[in-house]
Amino acid sequence: MPTSDPDETRPGRAPSGAATSGTPSAPQPGPARLGRYAVRRRLGAGAFATVWLAYDEQLDSPVAVKVLAENWAGEPTTRRRFTEEGRWMRRVESPHVVPVYDAGELEDGRPFLVMAYADQGTLADRLDVTGLTAAQSLEVLRQVAAGLAALHERDLVHRDVKPANVLFRTREGTVVAMLADLGLGKALDVSSRLTLVGGTPTYTAPEQARGETVDGRADQYSLGALAYLLLAGRPAFRHTDLRQAADPTPPPPAHELSPVLEPEVDAVVRRALSPAADDRWPDVLAFVDALEAALGAAGHPAEDATVTRPWLPIDPELTLPGARPSVFAPAGDLPPVGTPPRASRGRRAAGALALLVACAVAAVGAGLGAHAALAPTPPAEQEVYDASGTLSVTVPAAWATTVADEAWSSPADDGTYPALAVGTGAAWNSASAVATGAGEGVFLGIMSGNGLPDRMPGHPECARVQARYTDDGAEPARTVVHAGCPGGVTVERVVRVTADRLLWVQVRAATTATANQVLDGIATHGM
């Protein structure tokens, strides 16, 4: 069965253009309304925006509202890109591009976009649980290609096609795949004058990684990388930064990895992955047509008799957007959003820092005897702050049995800085718990520093390093994901949050999905 790409199981994914659901949970503290939309709960937060599940009372329908983060509200370029995303998406009338219904501005001046609520999660979510059959994979690719073709017809390039940006939504009893997050998208006429370098390295076309002019063939390359992942069960590339994506090494012969990818199928995908744009298929639809023909010739028909309708099973729990408006969260101001972004490349700090941190976290976790944080009727999730109000994290309610919210002594300089540790028990990060997988939890700690460590703490108890990330981002960061650990996964992350401060994060969780949710819920305030 195909497995998920480490790039797409990475913690801290920023919210997509339209938010996705998780298992329905009780409303979380937050604003009562965003414009005329009544808020139900927060769906996710990233470096640039927070996405809320809201309710359109006039049309009696759930919607996703994406709000620009407070710390970016005064930055003209980011603000313009945020609003342009809505304009670009409104120009495209396709069932396979997330529709934008409305746009507005909050009282504090921050813009927001109102989009369709993707109630069936993302492709990354699906791959994190199970793989897809050849027929299902082809249907995903066909629908994504249709969305891309609609963009290309209107002279738009998506530039960030990947599993996390493929959303699923139920429509008329079936599942529809939609492209989301055009934050990196650009009009072709704009791209010809000023090229924005960005994207997820594993899926980024070489010409895009080099900062050259791009067109729809760059999206075809990304779609080819997605096809390789779905059919071969592993990513075509494991690039950790855009420099590697600019000069890619050809992926291994796909037919050696999966019976689905026979040489004829491999040849079709490999042409889409040609380093030279001129050597690729004429367009994304031609690529998918050729892929369908090759799969059929290899004995993998487009229609799979074993797949019941709808073509992708609907998760009935995900179709429940939440409580009716009568039980919305209490009124309040929008909390400032400073969630650390996905891992990014930045200046290096001394390697000794990570080793000192590795020793310090054991002591902090073992001393997590602070105070109980149980409510009589705990919600599915709970937001916890440190004593100074500098750090916050939203965790599963079961984790918040023990909270340590006092400052810690940073191993970098022995200074005292804000810290927060939340876990399933006082010893969730003790040596015995780590060895047996007996606990889950998260630690956040501010420390001094202006660069990222050369080395990150190791975890010999884990079977393998699933992924390392040092990509460019709004705030430089470095992340290592350890898989096959007793009890699940362990994630280490260091983020530069100011010119002279770093945020160090460790998460131990039973599943990658839980780790992703927790990392999406981390925020810094006043920094």
- Nearest CA to 83 out of 101, 104, 62 is that of 104
Sign of the CA dihedral with 340 first, then 343, 347, and 351 last: positive
Is 160 assigned a catalytic role?
Answer: yes
For residue 394, list its beta bridge partners.
383
Tokens of 8: 């797409």
The response to whether 66 counts as a known ligand-binding position is yes
3-class secondary structure, 447: strand
Q: Residue 99 gets which letter from DSSP? A: P
DSSP 462-524: SSEEEEEE----SS-EEEEEEEEETTEEEEEEEEEEETTEEEEEEEEESSHHHHHHHHHTEEE
The structure tokens 């090494």 sit at: 249
DSSP 293-334: HHHHHTT--SS-TTSPSSSS---GGGG---S-GGGPPPP-PP
For residue 507, list its beta bridge partners.
442, 491
Q: How buried is residue 327: exposed, middle or buried, by Cβ count under 10 Å (0-12/13-18/19+)? A: exposed
CA distance 148 to 145: 5
CA distance 96 to 148: 8
CA distance 193 to 190: 5
Q: Please give the C-alpha separations between residue 207 and each of 19, 51, 248, 277, in angstroms, as whole numbers.
A: 30, 31, 11, 8
3-class secondary structure, 77: helix
Out of 7, 128, 160, 405, pick the active-site residue: 160
Q: What are phi and psi of 126, to 5 degrees?
A: -60, -45
CA distance 476 to 502: 10
For residue 493, list its beta bridge partners.
479, 505
Helices 216-232 and 263-272 meet at what angle, rounded to 10?
150
Give me the amino acid identity at 522. Answer: I
3-class secondary structure, 189: helix
- Positions at the binding site for ATP: 66
The residues that are catalytic are: 160
- Positions at the binding site: 66
